[in-house]
Amino acid sequence: MGTKLYVGNISFQASEDDLRELFSKAGEVVSAKLITDAATGRPRGFGFVEMGSDSAAQKAISMLNGSSFMDRNIVVNEAKPQEKRERGGFEGRRGGGRR
């Protein structure tokens, strides 16, 4: 098991410090990151927490998955590796004007 956890259904009022504090009940927290929309900067309602050990990560999952955090039931599970995305659109062509 990895030490990086996915956390979903997070309140939009939560901060990274709030996440760190919550997960520290299960063990050492290495990092806590809330994901925001690139265009607006607003929270997207999920994030990632990296725990200090596999046992702390497993404890966090069993303690916190489905628990209430800031009036929302959060989802906590092992983070999956990010899949490489295909670039859409113009297949790398630049411009767009007439030739």
Does 11 map to a domain? yes
Does 98 map to a domain? no
Q: What CATH number should be reported for the domain holding residue 52?
A: 3.30.70.330
- Which pLDDT score is estimated for 87? 65
Domain count, the chain: 1
Convert the pLDDT of each residue in 46-66 to its tens digit: 999 999 999 999 999 999 999
Length of the chain: 99
Find residue 29's DSSP bridge partners.
51
- Which pLDDT score is estimated for 84? 78
- Which pLDDT score is estimated for 86? 73
pTM over 0.85: no
Residue 6: half-sphere exposure toward Cβ, Cα within 13 Å: 10
Does 93 map to a domain? no
Does 89 map to a domain? no
Does 84 map to a domain? no
Residues of the chain with pLDDT under 70: 1-2, 87-99
Does 14 map to a domain? yes
- Amino acid in the structure at residue 62: S
Does 32 map to a domain? yes
Sequence-distant (≥ 6) Cβ neighbours of residue 11 within 8 angstroms: 45, 69, 70, 71, 72
Question: What does residue 17 show for φ and ψ, rounded to 5 degrees?
Answer: -65, -40
Does 53 map to a domain? yes
Give the domain extent around 30. 4-78
